[in-house]
Structure 1
Amino acid sequence: MNTENSPENLPENKNSLPLVELEGDSPDSDAADGTIAWTVEPESGGERIDKHVTDGLGEGTASRSQVQEWIRIGAVTVNGKAVKPNAKVAAGDEIEVRIPEPEPVEALPENIPLDVVYEDADVIVINKPRGMVVHPAVGHSSGTVVNALLYHCRDLSGINGVMRPGIVHRIDKDTSGLLMAAKNDLAHASLAQQLKDHTVLRRYYALAYGALPHERGTIDAPIGRDKHDRKMFAVTDKGSKRAVTHFAVLERFDDYTLVELRLETGRTHQIRVHLKYIGHPIVGDPMYGGRAGRTLGMVGQALHAGVLGFVHPRTGETLEFSAPLPADMEHALYTLRTR
């Protein structure tokens, strides 16, 4: 962070980015080839490898029987060697899991209402409600943005396959706000390149705990898997990628701060992890907040993707869209302003 809290000693990861820079909940989003690695902590020594890996990947990522099959085919190694499902791990062992590509299952159209902010023959921009998953995954085979888009559009880019048609980027299930999708491969390639070049404008609004000590600043701190909980992410110099978030204070309350955040990179849970890292987690964040937001009337986390801007892939026109805060977040701010 380019303020008093700067993590200057954390190295920048110089690995090249994939063509499509996705952000959101994904078991392999911290590794382009689907590989996840970690070191066994002392308290986990003596566990069976199948149980250790199942627990380490996080709830909903894979079943124990699925992990056992991965072990049998050599997709799980301990210190670089294949093992049997009943092998025991020891403290300090290096675990590597190469998650096999799932069998493609075509997402089906579903008549789910969409809040369409903009649409033409090339792109569509929607205002995603909090609680809606962007594309089908383990535990979310239906009711996603993709299912709704397939019904609404009938024509989406095929670059990301049958599970993620048209999806160029994503936002977390628990985050509301603007999301763009591509209707053809030309649009998809252009939008993906803009994301890779960091020229897409993405502004978020968050209600954070506490009083941020600076009016504006930059959090430049690499993000990777949390070594203590594999379904979470953390600022770390191990197996991480560079992550940059710019922030500006919009409004201050006694013990809360409303901030605007601009993403330069798009790592999984980036804003949530960065705000926790500087000691000001998002109100109502179920994973990184540590405290509930119900005292302010929030029914989820107070994070909204409010502004999205990009160059139209066909016309070259610069487009910018905005979406209002969700009702419960507006109510929380009203409560703070009037209490």
Structure 2
Amino acid sequence: MQDHYSFTNEGLNERIDKFITDKITDASRSQIQSWIKAGLVTVNDSSVKANYKLQPEDKIEITIPEPEVIDAKPEDINIEIIYEDQDVVVVNKPQGMVVHPSIGHSSGTLVNALLYHTKDLSGINGKIRPGIVHRIDKDTSGLLMVAKNDVAHEKLSEQLKDKKAQREYIALVHGLIHHDKGTIDAPIGRDSGNRKKYAVVDNGKPSVTHFEVIERFNKFTLIKLILETGRTHQIRVHMNYIEHPLAGDPIYGPRKTIKGNGQFLHAETLGFTHPTTGKEMKFSSAIPEIFKETLEILRKQ
């Protein structure tokens, strides 16, 4: 059954989308803007745009559509939940798990597991990506934040967009990086020679990665990386661009590399401001066993 709201405006020159966001607190502003665009919001019986400025005595009618049914099916898959409350889930994704369903990966994903363990996930990203605020690659392990409602989703997304969320990675790369710190500021876009890959290109999206050397080995370097932006394959592309590709990377790395379960890349630290309480949250997770074992072998060499 659809919900229906009626309001009479008493103020002056307030945007209609902001007015409704303040009235219906469990809906996000972007969600409300989509209702307005779909004609589900009227002012004095007429459709308006999201930037319409309200006048005193305006009559606002809102018809909230029924939520879409999520297509991805719940699956009883064991996942490591680091933290959970009514707004947010922080999960430690294992290497080899796809984040959300797609062509060729209709089941066994993190979303399938989340739908089994927690019924409430935001719907902003549609039926196959409920709750997913940001992603990491299949063969990258580590921490992800997941939104349980649309308001939390929007606020967490804004933190990523405004570069206020903290995301730190640990990676093993080919070659010796001789300077202790560095920043890679190079735009990333689709590789013109291979649409499945990304590359540093002139017309790409601004992309910034900071790195710091943790430990040097004979032919490899262990580094910490801090993402300022979050482009697809950003770390993998940037490290390949400076000729220090990730060890084990089947797409951007050399053929002769360390055997593992894909690239040696782990999302170790995740920090954000809680979307409801405003509390600063910070989480860390240890690198996978195969990563630890590989480092021990390199140290012995």
TM over 0.5: yes
Shift of 1:222: 0.3
2:112 is the alignment partner of 1:160: no
1:199-210 map, 5 Å: 199-210=164-175
Q: TM-score, normalised by structure 1?
A: 0.67
What is the deviation of 1:292?
A: 4.5
Match of 1:135 among 94, 100, 111: 100
Q: Quote the offset at 1:105 in angstroms.
A: 7.0
Cα RMSD between the aligned structures? 1.5
Tell me what 1:303 maps to: 265
8 Å CA contact retained: 2:248, 2:260: yes
Q: Deviations over 1:202-226 (max 9, x none)?
A: 0000000001131101000000111
- 1:238-277 counterparts in 2 under 5 A? 238=203, 240-277=204-241
Q: Unaligned 5+ residue runs, structure 1?
A: 1-18, 21-103
> Could you give the per-residue CA deviations for residues 101-122 of structure 1, whole angstroms, max 9, x where no partner exists?
xxx9711101111111111111
Output aligned runs, 1:1-339, within 5 Å.
Answer: 106-238=71-203, 240-294=204-258, 298-339=260-301
**TM-score of the superposition, structure 2-length normalised?**
0.76
Q: Which whole-Å CA distance do the structure 1 matches of 2:130 and 2:70 have between them? A: 12
The residue number in structure 2 matching 1:86 is none
The CA deviation at 1:150 is 0.5
* Contact 1:204–1:261, Cα closer than 8 Å, also in 2: yes
Residue 313 of structure 1 aligns to a residue whose secondary structure is: coil
1:161 deviates by 1.2
CA distance in structure 1 between the aligned counterparts of 2:256 and 2:82, rounded to whole angstroms = 31
Q: Judging by fraction of residues, say which structure has more strand.
A: 2
Assess if the C-alpha contact under 8 Å between 1:283 and 1:292 holds in 2. no
d(CA) in 1 for partners of 2:261, 2:161? 33
Asked if the contact 2:96–2:261 (Cα under 8 Å) also holds between the matched residues in 1, the reply is no
Secondary structure of the residue aligned to 2:195 is strand
Q: After the TM superposition, which segments of 4 or more aligned residues of structure 1 sit over 6 Å from their partners?
A: none
Q: Which amino acid aligns with 1:210?
A: G
CA contact (8 A) 2:172 2:223 kept: yes
Aligned residues: 235
Residue type of the partner of 1:301? Answer: Q
- AA aligned to 1:263 is L
Structure 2 unmatched ranges of 5 or more: 1-28, 31-68
Partner of 2:197: helix, strand, or coil?
A: strand
- Alpha carbons 2:95, 2:261 under 8 Å: kept: no
Q: 1:89-136 CA deviation, whole Å, 9 max, x = no partner?
A: xxxxxxxxxxxxxxx971110111111111111100011011111111
Output the amino acid matched with 1:266: G
- Quote how far apart the aligned CAs of 1:282 are: 0.4
Cα shift at 1:337:
1.0
What one-letter code is carried by the residue in structure 2 that aligns with 1:152?
Answer: H
Match of 2:66 in 1: none
Q: Percent identity?
A: 60
Does the CA-based 8 Å contact 1:293-1:301 persist in structure 2?
no
